[in-house]
């Protein structure tokens, strides 16, 4: 799988390569199944990206971000590829609310805290999204889309101060 890594202006800065094992529905079991060529720092693989969106969901990996996107297909998504690069993500100037979809581990928690701090310094509202299992792809595969959506909705509703158009959520 090849994925373009872009900056906030949509300029391709890098290419992410992931070797997949289609027979086992997993990443290939080779020495280096994931590699990036180019500049990843601050950038991301983007899905449904538009420069006008104020809400962005940023997450660690492509699988995590696409799992969240499977229940919120209208959301702006940014896959940062690693916990380290999630912490370094540079939200575009149009971002007013950042949803951080981290993995449920120490690296994900640290990345979340670092990105949250930088985003809040810029006046961006931040909402943390934490999976039940190790990551959102594990949650999706084990619990299905409906339960994943319910878990995400619960976290979002507990944290937001204004409606989320792509989530079809109502304020309490």
Q: What is the pLDDT of residues 126-166, one digit of tens each?
A: 999 999 999 999 999 999 999 999 999 999 999 987 888 87
Q: How far apart are CA 127 and CA 160, in angstroms?
A: 7
Query: Is the predicted pLDDT of residue 171 greater than 60, yes or no?
Result: no
Give the ranges where 34-161 is alpha helix by DSSP (H): 62-71, 83-87, 106-121, 136-143, 145-159
Its sign, for the CA torsion 8, 10, 15, 18, is positive
Say if CB 57 and CB 78 are below 8 A apart: yes
In order of 25, 128, 130, 135, the CA distances from 154 in angstroms are 29, 11, 11, 17
Tell me the whole-structure pTM to 2 decimals. Answer: 0.91
**Which range (6-10, 47-51, 72-76) has the least confidence?**
47-51
Query: Is the predicted pLDDT of residue 52 greater than 60, yes or no?
Result: no
| Residue partners of 119: CB distance under 8 A and separation at least 6 | 91, 95, 98, 126
50-74 average pLDDT score = 88
Percent share of the chain, pLDDT over 90: 84
- Report the pLDDT value the prediction gives residue 25, as an integer from 0 to 100: 85
167 pLDDT band (50/70/90 cuts)?
confident
Q: Which of 133, 152, 137, 38 is nearest to 85 (CA)?
A: 38
Say if CB 86 and CB 60 are below 8 A apart: yes
- Report the pLDDT value the prediction gives residue 169, as an integer from 0 to 100: 62
Q: How many helices (H) and strands (E) does the chain have?
A: 5, 10
**Which range (41-50, 67-76, 90-99) has the least confidence?**
41-50
pLDDT, the chain, mean? 92
172 pLDDT band (50/70/90 cuts)?
very low
pLDDT tens figures, 72-111: 988 999 999 999 999 999 999 999 999 999 999 999 999 9
């Amino acid at each position: 799988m090849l994925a373009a890594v872009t900056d906030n202006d949509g300029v391709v800065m890098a290419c992410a390569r992931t070797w997949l094992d289609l027979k086992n529905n997993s990443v290939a079991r080779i020495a280096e199944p994931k590699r990036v060529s180019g500049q990843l720092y601050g950038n991301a693989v983007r899905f449904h990206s538009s420069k006008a969106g104020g809400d962005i969901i940023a997450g660690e990996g492509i699988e995590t971000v696409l799992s969240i996107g499977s229940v919120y297909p209208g959301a702006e998504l940014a896959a940062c590829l690693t916990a380290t690069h999630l912490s370094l993500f540079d939200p575009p100037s149009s971002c007013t609310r950042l949803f951080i979809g981290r993995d449920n581990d120490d690296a994900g928690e640290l990345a979340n805290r670092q990105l949250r701090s930088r985003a809040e310094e810029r006046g961006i509202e931040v909402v943390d999204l934490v999976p039940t299992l190790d990551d959102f792809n594990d949650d999706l595969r084990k619990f299905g889309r409906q339960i994943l959506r319910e878990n995400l909705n619960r976290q979002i509703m507990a944290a937001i101060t204004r409606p989320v158009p792509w989530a079809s959520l109502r304020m309490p």
